[in-house]
Amino acid sequence: MHIDLSGRVVLVTGATGDLGRVMVRTLAACGADVGIHYHRNVDMAEELRREVAALGRRACTVKADVSEQAGVLAMRDRLRADLGDPDILVNNAVIQYRWTRILEQDPADYEGQYRSSVLHSVLMAQAFVPAMIAKRWGRVIGISTECVMQNHPTQSAYVAGKRGMDGVLRCLAREVGEHQVTVNQVAPGWMISDRDRSAHSEVQAGYTASVPLQRRGVDQDIANAVAFLASDLAGFISGAWLPVCGGNVMPSI
């Protein structure tokens, strides 16, 4: 048994980020053609495009603001012309900002998280899910976070945005399920990425002390979960919120 995405077209938003770039490489290695979305990092987007092409898969890069309808629609038209309508969406992009306590947090940060989490999910669904419905096959995968179950100080804007995204995607799962389109979320913990490897900051003893597996996961763990949910192996999974955090948070039943 293996994950085979041959013949599928994937769009990854925030593809040049620490987690996004590993998702792109992994999905291409599974056989998918990949749309590589970026907002500013064109150099990394082009590097990823070359890597995907070297694997024998088609790829294109596309710049867009995923919190604006015009940008998302332009991205849809570009992907349709270059690769065809995506079968799989990975909504990974999110605005970065300075974390601080609620009493000091700039209200604009809450608006930014709303736009890049909630509106991002809505606009992507409106632009790309109709083609999935027409094909009676599709995957929507949102990247959430363990933070939504932790609610630690300074996390409020991020948690608010991702909790709003959770509501949108759970409703979407019910609305499009009859068309054989699944909608799921992957919730990373504090993963080791290229940023940590460059800074030699992989060890975070204070964090891992609370993790049952007593270690941090790596970016590849998130990409593996995304590839599974994108595949036919997960064809009867929808509405799930999958924590990939070594047991640091555990949804209750």
Catalytic residues: 158
Sheet holding 88-91, edge to edge: 59-63, 33-38, 9-12, 88-91, 138-143, 181-188, 241-244
Residue type, 57: R
DSSP state of 249: S
Task: Decide: helix, strand or coil at residue 136.
Answer: coil
Q: Compute the distance between CA of residue 59 and CA of residue 163 in angstroms, rounded to an integer.
A: 32
What is the three-class DSSP state of 186?
A: strand
**Can you list the positions of beta strands (E) in 106-192?**
138-143, 181-188
Q: 């012309």: which residue's tokens? A: 81
